[in-house]
Amino acid sequence: MSLYSRIMRDSDRGLLASHGISVREFDVLITLFNAPDHCLRMSEPAQRVMLSPSGLTRLVERLERAHMVERQNDTTDGRSFRAVLTDQGLQRLDQARTTHNGIIRGHFTDRLSEEELRELAAIWRKVLLDEC
């Protein structure tokens, strides 16, 4: 708990200081980036990011005000919306990724051997995939 709290806090502070993006906003942007067409239904990233539906609504509102995301109607379901990463959002994300990669490198990559990194990756994958 200490280790992960520290990494999340450092990521949050680093991203806020350099790019004005919280680590949760970063996580949603990354999730959009990895989605087909950089686009997801509102309810989908909530699962991955561990945010309640209302929490996601408000986070996307902020990203929309900051012109990083747009909300579009879902043509196949009138109840639903899609969040789409804008060009500006993509640029901000690219910059933020550099900062975030540096922080992760400082905590893990620089401190562990290649062997340990492989072990850690395998363990994370196993725990994560088992649960999905």
Q: Which residues bind a second copy (CB under 8 A)?
A: 1-9, 23, 27, 48-50, 107-108, 111-112, 116, 119-120, 122-124, 126-128, 130-131
Q: Which residues pair with 81 in a beta bridge?
A: 73
Which of 10, 33, 62, 102 touches DNA (CB under 7 A)? 62
> Closest approach of Cβ 81 to a second copy, in Å?
23
Which of 80, 88, 91, 109 touches DNA (CB under 7 A)? 80
106 binding DNA? (CB under 7 A): no
d(CA 89, CA 49) in angstroms, rounded, equals 18
Which of 78, 110, 114, 115 touches DNA (CB under 7 A)? 78
81-85 vs 69-73, strand pairing mode: antiparallel
Size of the site for DNA (CB under 7 A): 28
CA separation (Å) from 105 to 80, 97, 114, 117? Answer: 38, 12, 13, 11
Closer by beta carbon to a second copy, 34 or else 73: 34
- Quote the tokens at residue 128: 């994560």
Which of 36, 37, 54, 114 touches DNA (CB under 7 A)? 54
Q: Which residues pair with 70 in a beta bridge?
A: 84
Longest Cα–Cα distance of the chain, Å, equals 51
